[in-house]
Chains A and B, each alone.
Chain A
Amino acid sequence: GIQVEQSPPDLILQEGANSTLRCNFSDSVNNLQWFHQNPWGQLINLFYIPSGTKQNGRLSATTVATERYSLLYISSSQTTDSGVYFCAVGKSISNFGNEKLTFGTGTRLTIIP
C-alpha cells in the first residue's frame, strides 16, 4: 500500500509564528486530505487537495502531485491551532474513494502563548 510520512513529528512554536508541515507519499494519488485533531480528539477536515493550492484564512495547502508531497502552511499561529495534523492520501480506481485513504502518523503542533 501507499506509505505516508509526515514531518516534523513534533513542533513547538510561540504564538504568532508561522509553520510548515510536510506530507510525503510513496505513490501517485487522486485523493489527499488534511485534518486537524483537536485536544479532545475530534478531527476536522481542513482541505481536500489532491493537487494545486488552496487557502482558507490563515491556513493554506499545496500539493505537488508529480513530486509526491503536500505542504500545510499555518500563519500567525494561535493557541487554538494546537493539536495533531494528519495527512491522508488515497488512490481510488472506482467511483468510491475514501475507503482507500491511508493516514500518516501526524504532526503534533503546540502553540505557546
Chain B
Amino acid sequence: DGGITQSPKYLFRKEGQNVTLSCEQNLNHDAMYWYRQDPGQGLRLIYYSQIVNDFQKGDIAEGYSVSREKKESFPLTVTSAQKNPTAFYLCASSFRGRTGELFFGEGSRLTVL
C-alpha cells in the first residue's frame, strides 16, 4: 500500500545525544516536510524539500538538520543544539504545486531524559 512510513514510533534519548528520525514515502511525491507538534499546539514546520538534493528551513529549523539524497527519503536529525527536543514529530509529503494535498506519516514521539 502507498503511504508514508516513519520510524521509530517512540524514542527515548539522553540529553546531549543526536537522534535521527526516518521518513520514507512511496507515493511518488516530490515534496516532503517535517513538522513538530507540542501538546495542545498546532503543527510548526521544521524543514521542507521540494526536490532531491535541495531543502529549505521552515519556521523552527534551529537545532535540526535534514538530507534529501533520494526522492523517497527525508530523514531528520535532532541535534544536541535543540534546546527542547521532546515533542511529536510528523513527516508529510505532497505533489508540487498549490493544489497538493498534504499526507502525513504516523509520527515519531521523541522523549529526551
Which A residues are closer than 8 A to B by beta carbons? 4, 30-31, 33, 35, 40-45, 48, 86, 88, 92, 95-99, 101-106
Contacts and interface: CB of A to CB of B under 8 A. Distances in A.
Contacts of B98: 30-31, 92, 95-97
B106 A98 contact: no
Interface in B28-80: 31, 33, 40-45, 48, 50, 56, 58
A104 B100 contact: no
Nearest to A102: B42
B42 A43 contact: no
B101 A97 contact: no
Contacts of A97: 97-100
B97 A96 contact: yes
A27 to B, nearest CB: 15
Interface of B: 31, 33, 40-45, 48, 50, 56, 58, 88, 90, 92, 94, 96-107, 109
Nearest to B50: A96
Contacts of A102: 42
B97 A103 contact: no
Contacts of A96: 31, 50, 96-98
A106 B42 contact: yes
Contacts of B40: 105
A86 B43 contact: yes
B107 A99 contact: no
A41 B101 contact: no
Nearest to B41: A105
B99 to A, nearest CB: 7
A37 B44 CA distance: 15
Given A96-B50, A99-B56, A106-B42, A42 B100 contact: no
Nearest to A106: B42
B42 A33 contact: no
